[in-house]
Amino acid sequence: MDVTTTVDLTREAMMVALWIAAPALVTGMLVGLAIGLLQALTQIQDQTVAFVPKFLAMAAAMLFALPWVLQRLMVYTETLVTHIPDRLMGG
């Protein structure tokens, strides 16, 4: 396995990880922004007020996106396993 193959595999793995984490991260960002705005308007500065709704929203987003995440992981794994011999042999 050469350096190019290693870099390509690492890049693919990082992109899959980014896509898998995206639903939770985007949901957490949007809910955090909304709660931050609400806290600024009401001057309530308690950390648990921001943590609990973000946690619940991110968990709900991951449950909602679970079929898509599993499908994405299965496609990536299948592609990786079927192409391992080609990549190891330099083809």
Residues 6+ apart with CB under 8 A from 62: 23, 24, 69
CA distance 44 to 65: 32
Overall number of domains in the chain: 1
DSSP 62-89: HHHHHHHHHHHHHHHHHHHHHHHHHHHT
CA distance 30 to 64: 16
CA distance 17 to 30: 20
Rounded to two decimals, the pTM is 0.77
pLDDT tens-digit map of 34-69: 999 998 898 888 878 888 999 999 999 999 999 999
Write out the residue range of the structural domain in which residue 69 sits. 3-88
